[in-house]
Every structure is written in C-alpha cells, then in structure tokens.
Chain A
Amino acid sequence: MNTDEDLVREIKKGDDASFHILMSRYMKHVFNFILQYVRVREEAEDVTQDAFFKAWKHINRFKDGMKFKPWLFTIARNTALDYIKKKKAVVFSEMDQTDSDGEAISTFSDTLTDEAPLPPEIFANKELGSQLDVAMNILHPDHRAVLIMHYHEDMTFEEIADTIKKPMNTIKSWHRRSLEKIRDSLVHIRP
C-alpha cells in the first residue's frame, strides 16, 4: 500500500486518482475532526469538502520530509475556524489566550501532575457513549480536537502542537484539564 507521502508525490505530478485514494483514506477522520469545531453535521460536511479542496489546491506547499496527516489536519482546522469566524464573527484572539472558562492558560504547573485514572466502574455504564458526547460538548473546540487527535488519530503531542500551532506544553495542559473536566462530568452523572 502506498504511503501518504508517496501519493502526494503522484498528486503533484497531476495524478488526481492518487488524491482520490488519499481523500477516501482520510474522509471520515477529517470529518470527525471538523465536527469538534462545527457541531452541525451538514455544515461540518461542507467544511470537510472545503478542507479537501484546499488540500488539493495547495498540495505544492507540502514539502518532502513533512508528515501528511498533521498537514491535512492543520488545513481542516483553519478551514473550520474560518467558517466559524464568518458565521459568528467571534474574536478568536481571545480564545487563543484563555480557555473556554476564561482562565489564563498556565503552561508550567499544569503539566507537572499526571492525569488521575478513570474509576473502572464507569465502563459498566451502558450510556457511557452518549454521556461522553455530552461531556465533550462543554469543552472548548480546540480542547476537543486535542483529545480526538490524541485518542482517535493516535497523534503525538508534538504532532498536535504542530497542527494547532501552539507550544507542546499548552497542548499537554489543555489535554490534562480537558480530561479532568470529562472525568468530573462522568463521575457526577454515572448512576
């Protein structure tokens, strides 16, 4: 099976069939990633379409030595943020500096302690899936995206930091605090 980077080389030569293969490979992943930002399914599909079109249009910006998945997810994130900005006219510079609760991000102390494990009885809950979706809903879009990239896409913190264009300590801080919020949410609502 051709690697992503092999396919990109073919796409650069004008082979659209290789783009089709890459798109099929990542369609579901990109869609689920964008869904963390654009919470309406139909709109997320439109943004996904835009993201893939942009990836095709700017394929020559992908250089040898780069990894395709973080590059594609960066495009997807930027496309989603542009869409949200157009729709809501939110000043995103505020979001960059603070988390969704308005607290300033501490990049040092938050990374020192490890996450506490989940109590095992949580997994006995039949409604865990839907409760997890509810718990995820309260998080900032970037924090949701960090969790999805780490746990669904198996991306390292370094790759995530490269995708979101934030320092790795910030990503780790977001990751830890998001898990705390999810754990607290699940522990409180379990029967």
Chain B
Amino acid sequence: MKPEKTYKKLFTYATVAEPRKDVGIRVVTRIQKARIIQIRVRAGVYSFFVLGTLTGLAPAGQNLWNSATESGFLQFASLGWSDGASVLGSWKTFAFTLAESAPILETSAVLGLILVGAYSLKRSTYYFSKMSVGTETSFATA
C-alpha cells in the first residue's frame, strides 16, 4: 500500500468528537442578539439624522428666503406673474437675470436637507418597525 494510503487509513481510527447540540443554538442566539443591537443602533443613527435635518431646515429655509430677497430673485420671479407679456418679449434677458440672482447654494442646501431627511425618515421607520416585529423569524425557515 502506498504510504499516503496507509496514513489515510490510520486516521480513520482517530477519535472524531461531536460537539454538544447547544453549541449551534448558542451561535444562533448570539447572532440574534447582535442583529437586535445592529437594528437599534441603525434606528438611532437614522433618527438622529432626521432630527438633525429638521433642526437644520428652519435656519436653512430662512437663509434661502433672505438670499432670494436680497439678490432680487423673488422680485424678478414675481414679474413673470405680474407682467407676463413684457417677460415673454425679452425672455432671454429675464432668464439670465433670474439665473444670476438665484440663490443656488442656499437652494441646494435646503434640497439636500430635505432629501437626507426623507431618506433618514424612511430608514428609521424601517428599523423601528423591525424592532417591533423582532428578528427571531429569520432562522426559523432553516
């Protein structure tokens, strides 16, 4: 018999131990606990972002309003309603003036906050709903 085969045969005599069945159960329990902590942390983080964006929206909105007023954007924009015919006649000039006076940075800030706030609200709602349902079901289908 080739040496490799004799040693292969030898190791069939080696003791093969069985772990207790509760080792697997302990792993599953530990994973479920880790999942619960993960969900709570994520719910907390996204809630923090929601609060943060809500807190930031008021000053950002005020800032946007102030910039739009100071730059004259609001006055120019209102011309479109009050004197539509003149605006149509010189629409290129009107468009350039509007673009120049538009508070781009402030608008981006407000839109960004709304997007982040909406996404955070969606995720925090998802994770809070998972907290109430629980995570025990995921192993049950095995």
The verdict on A103 contacting chain B, using a C-beta distance below 8 Å, is no
- In chain A, positions 1-25 with a C-beta closer than 8 Å to chain B are 14-21, 23-24
Binds A, one of B17-25, B53-61, B87-95, B111-119: B17-25
The verdict on B96 contacting chain A, using a C-beta distance below 8 Å, is no
- The residue on A at minimum CB distance from B28 is A20
Whether B24 contacts A27 by the Cβ 8 Å rule is yes
With contact pairs A17-B139, A19-B31, A53-B30 given, residues A151 and B11 touching in the complex (Cβ less than 8 Å): yes
Binds A, one of B2-10, B40-48, B72-80, B120-128: B2-10
Minimum C-beta distance from A48 to chain B (A): 6
- The residue on B at minimum CB distance from A30 is B19
CB < 8 Å: which of B10, B30, B138 contacts A49? B30
* Complexed CA–CA distance, A154 and B85 (Å): 86
The binding surface of chain B is classed by DSSP as: helix
CB < 8 Å: which of B7, B30, B35 contacts A115? B7
Whether A31 contacts B142 by the Cβ 8 Å rule is no
Minimum C-beta distance from B58 to chain A (A): 37
* Complexed CA–CA distance, A32 and B11 (Å): 13
The verdict on B1 contacting chain A, using a C-beta distance below 8 Å, is yes
The verdict on B27 contacting chain A, using a C-beta distance below 8 Å, is yes
Residues of chain B within 8 A of A28, CB atoms compared: 16-19
New contact pairs (9) apart from A17-B141, A31-B23, A48-B19, CB-CB < 8 Å: A17-B142, A20-B139, A31-B17, A45-B19, A45-B20, A49-B26, A133-B15, A148-B11, A151-B10
Q: 25 pairs across A/B with beta carbons < 8 Å?
A: A16-B138, A17-B139, A17-B140, A17-B141, A17-B142, A18-B142, A20-B139, A27-B24, A28-B17, A44-B19, A45-B20, A49-B26, A53-B34, A57-B34, A118-B6, A118-B7, A122-B10, A132-B11, A132-B13, A136-B14, A148-B11, A148-B14, A151-B11, A151-B14, A152-B16
Q: Which 5 A-B pairs have the closest CB atoms?
A: A151-B11, A20-B142, A17-B142, A117-B3, A16-B138
